[in-house]
Structures are given as structure tokens and as C-alpha cells.
Amino acid sequence: MQSDDLGSTPLVYVLSVTVDMEDRITSGSDVVSGTGTKTVTYPITYKIVPALGVTAQNMTTGDSYSITSKSTTGFQIAFTDSSASGVSRTFDYIAKGYWLT
């Protein structure tokens, strides 16, 4: 605020700020995990940890997967069979969250 009248005292009654952070969706298709832990790195860095969906392919009875180290930059995933041995599986993922341009 600026005034040429030194005797004036400005009053602010209302002040607002609107921030619109753009949603961004990243994905990967037909990613092969290998028999160990697969690290997936997003092509961008999210502002907060994004929501993550994984669809596993070529799973057999007793197979499972675990997601660890979920962060703003990526995640880790490992597939195991019914005897808890690491197995290679193919998967798709989709991540949605806020990011800064």
C-alpha cells in the first residue's frame, strides 16, 4: 500500500490467497519386477506422496506383493510366491498427486 498522505492509516479487512496445485498422473505399463525388489522412480517429484494403484499380471496362486518406501519420488515393490521366494512378475502402476511446476 502506498499513500502520499502521511496522516492516513490504511486498514485491511479482508485478505485472501488461493493456491491451485495442479494434479499430475504418472504411470508405467508392463514393468518387469525381477526376482528382487524393484525400485520405480516417477518422472517428476510430487509435492505430497501420491495415491498409488498397482495391477499385477501373470500372478499364480499364492503369489503376493508388497510396496515399500512409498515417497514423493517413487516406490519399491517386491513379488513373492507361496513359499516367500522372490519371483519376477509384470505390473502396471498409476500414481496421482500434486506437484510443483
pLDDT in tens, 77-90: 999 999 999 999 99
**For range 34-50, the mean pLDDT:** 95
pLDDT at 101: 62
pLDDT at 1: 66
CA distance 59 to 83: 14
Q: Which of 71, 88, 28, 87 is nearest to 53 (CA)?
A: 28
CA distance 31 to 25: 17
Identity of the residue numbered 56: A
| Class of domain 23-98 (CATH, top level) | mainly beta
